[in-house]
Amino acid sequence: MKASTTSAPATTSSGPSTTSAATTSADPTNEPVLTAYLGFWDLYIELGGTPPPFDPAGVTARLDELTTGAERTQLFDFLQKNAATGLVLRGDIAHSPDVVSNDGTVAVVEDCMDDRIGVYRVADNSRADTDDPSRRLYTVALRQSDGGWKVETVTTRPEPCTV
């Protein structure tokens, strides 16, 4: 997700994800939060890597599994726009998530993420964005909804971070 602010993820990959995580949140109550968090990024890569035509009903159903609120809307719009312009995401993400707060209703995850996703044109397989090898700090709020955790907002900082 190489977008400079939230949710209009600008990167993802098709095919199986090679998302990896080094979790520092040992509290067992955080395990479902981290599972939903990493599942969100796998879904982002999967849906972003799906070539046109865009399936609004199918995408909506999948997004409803792991997103809510503003993030759901922004990600749907991002995926629809990419499909309309013939773009897909390819690559993977290396994670180092940490649950920094969890009150049982809202949890916040910080992740110094290595986003190795690129945006590619379906027509000729050429890359449409520029690779950024720096890790960036992502702050993601998840909300307890319908019996599970769902990503509500995603923000990132422009300066690089280190793990």
Q: How confident is the model at residue 21 (pLDDT cuts 50, 70, 90)?
A: very low
Which amino acid, one-letter code, is at 7? S
Helix axes 69-84, 56-66, angle to 10 degrees: 150
- Which pLDDT score is estimated for 145? 94
- Which pLDDT score is estimated for 43? 98
CA dihedral sign, ordered 58, 63, 64, 66: positive
- Which pLDDT score is estimated for 26? 67
pLDDT tens figures, 42-68: 999 999 999 999 999 999 999 999 999
pLDDT tens figures, 63-111: 999 999 999 999 999 999 999 999 999 999 999 999 999 999 999 999 9
103, 33 contact by CB (below 8 A): no
Q: What is the DSSP string of 49-81?
A: TPPSSP-HHHHHHHHHHHB-HHHHHHHHHHHHH
pLDDT tens figures, 103-146: 999 999 999 999 999 999 999 999 999 998 999 999 999 999 98
- Which pLDDT score is estimated for 55? 97
**Short-list 144, 145, 64, CA closest to 108:** 144
- The answer, yes or no, to whether residue 41 has pLDDT greater than 70, is yes
Which amino acid, one-letter code, is at 9? P
- The answer, yes or no, to whether residue 5 has pLDDT greater than 60, is no
Kindly report the pTM of this predicted structure. Answer: 0.84
Pure H helices in 4-149: 31-48, 56-66, 69-84
SS3 111: strand
Domains and CATH numbers, the chain: 20-160 (3.10.450.240)
Task: Tell me what the pLDDT averaged over the chain comes to.
Answer: 87
